[in-house]
Structure 1
Amino acid sequence: MIRVLVVEDEPVAAEAHRVYVERLPGFSVAGVVHSGGDALRFCEREPVDLVLLDFYLPDTHGLAVCRSLRAAGLPIDVIAVTSARDLGLVKAAVSVGVVQYLLKPFTFATLREKLERYTEFRDASGEVTGQAEIDRALGALRTTEQPPLPKGMSVQTLEAITDALSGAAEGLSAGAAASAIGASRVTARRYLEYLADNGMAHREPHYGQVGRPEVWYRLTRV
């Protein structure tokens, strides 16, 4: 059983991560904490195999947590769970031992694949007979190519919609999202529906003074 510590400062996201991990066979949640300091103290006193680590914490940065784990000699792996898209940060994460990098928002299926590949890597043991076996072991950590977006949709527009939702705690209507990214209402609704259909956003009815309720979309905080 792989014991996982969830480190996330947002209570809703922390609970979502906990539920996701507990749905996977072979994994158990060792604990849930909301700061870097609490994460380090937990790892020093409790057995932990893997940390799901949010990088933006109220008391420190995730990179500092990783460095402290290494300095303490704790044999704990880390999967970064963050919205940060800076390649410089990704490289820094690799340099301090992060084995996987998971971008928010994500679906349960995405996390499941990351953890399944981590399990495959972790379970590899014994001596290898050549370079090919080493490559296969390291390749277990690589995510398979994601399925392409539906025809006519672009990664850039999807990220723009996601960023707009991230900055709107109460959610956005298709019209408001369209204004935020400079696109048509039809285009914005298509991307919002894609996010909702894939579990990365959810729909909420908003009632005005007259007529039918308008559908708003709010990012799923995981």
Structure 2
Amino acid sequence: MIRVLLIEDDPMVQEINKQFVEKVEGYEVIGCASNGIEGIRLIKQMKPDLALIDIYMPSQDGRTTIKQVRKENLGTDIIAITAASDMKTIRDCLQYGAIDYIMKPFKFDRIQQALSNYRHYHERMQKQETFSQQELDHLLFSHEKQKKAELPKGLNQHTLEKVIHFLQDKKEATSAEDVAEGIGIARVTARRYLEYLEQIGRVEIQIEYGGIGRPVNQYQIIRG
């Protein structure tokens, strides 16, 4: 599970953000803070993987908090979630190391996409010690291509992510039938997702020839 700390002074917004985060598979909210001072204390105490930080807060604002996280090398990644839309605030947050910037008001789809991107980034950083340029480019920029691409009718983002994660956990190529059984969908549905992933360059097909019957397509995620 990816452990998340919320730093937000509005209790209602705090609760909405908590519900949004916990709707995304693989995430749990481990704590909440109402200002930057409390947020820094909880980051040091709880060591979350990710902190969602508001900018406009009493006692210590989000910009100062993000800067302090980096200055003290606390190791928690940051997504800014704020109503601030001015260029200076955006630039400062990104320069201080925020990996994403979400403007209020926002819909669930936006935070879902941000958390999906972060999960991919987090998993790769946990598993690999070195990267080739191609692997790094894929890690940093492939989600931009995904956001621009509209899913074909009948496919949805949540199931697509489940298929991708299933394939990422497999060391060898696997069949549509195995994918279907693994995530609990029909084989014809699994094949549609796999064909889409092949079209956008996320998987490659390996044809397996058996002794009897037609050859079987095996699908493997392209790593990097």
Higher relative contact order (CA 8 A, sep 6+): 1
1:67-118 per-position Cα deviation (integer Å, ceiling 9, x unaligned):
1112222100000001111122211111111000001111111110110011
Q: Which residue number in structure 2 is paired with residue 21 of structure 1?
A: 21
Q: Amino acid of the residue matched to residue 145 of structure 1?
A: K
Where is the helix percentage greater, Structure 1 or Structure 2? 2
TM-aligned CA distance change 1:33 to 1:146, over 3 Å:
farther
Q: Residue 55 of structure 1 contacts residue 61 of structure 1 at CA under 8 Å; is this kept in 2?
A: yes
Q: Runs in 1 of length 4+ with deviation above 2 angstroms? A: 125-129, 140-143
Q: CA RMSD in A?
A: 1.8
Q: Which residue number in structure 1 is paired with residue 50 of structure 2?
A: 50
Q: Which residue number in structure 2 is paired with residue 137 of structure 1?
A: 139
In structure 1, the residue corresponding to 2:99 is in which secondary structure?
strand
Q: Amino acid of the residue matched to residue 26 of structure 2?
A: G
TM-aligned CA distance change 1:26 to 1:140, over 3 Å:
farther
With the length of structure 1 as denominator, give the TM-score of the two structures.
0.62
Distance 1:99 1:61 in 2: 18
Paired residues for 1:76-91 under 5 Å: 76-91=76-91
With the length of structure 2 as denominator, give the TM-score of the two structures.
0.61
Distance 2:84 2:148 in 1: 20
In structure 2, the residue corresponding to 1:31 is in which secondary structure?
strand
Q: Residue 63 of structure 1 contacts residue 93 of structure 1 at CA under 8 Å; is this kept in 2?
A: yes
Distance 2:71 2:9 in 1: 23
**Per-residue deviation at 1:132?**
2.3
Q: Residue 121 of structure 1 contacts residue 140 of structure 1 at CA under 8 Å; is this kept in 2?
A: no
TM-aligned CA distance change 1:4 to 1:71, over 3 Å:
same
Q: Which residue number in structure 2 is paired with residue 97 of structure 1?
A: 97
Q: Amino acid of the residue matched to residue 96 of structure 1?
A: Y
Paired residues for 1:185-204 under 5 Å: none
**Per-residue deviation at 1:52?**
0.5
In structure 2, the residue corresponding to 1:52 is in which secondary structure?
strand
Establish whether residue 111 from structure 1 lines up as the match of residue 114 from structure 2.
no
Q: Which residue number in structure 2 is paired with residue 177 of structure 1?
A: none
Q: Percent identity?
A: 29
Q: Which residue number in structure 2 is paired with residue 67 of structure 1?
A: 67
TM-aligned CA distance change 1:141 to 1:83, over 3 Å:
farther
Distance 2:148 2:58 in 1: 34
Distance 1:141 1:100 in 2: 12
2:131 to 113, 122, 128: 128
How many residue pairs are counted as aligned between the two chains? Answer: 146
**Per-residue deviation at 1:11?**
0.7
1:27-55 per-position Cα deviation (integer Å, ceiling 9, x unaligned):
00010111111101111111211001001
**Per-residue deviation at 1:146?**
8.9
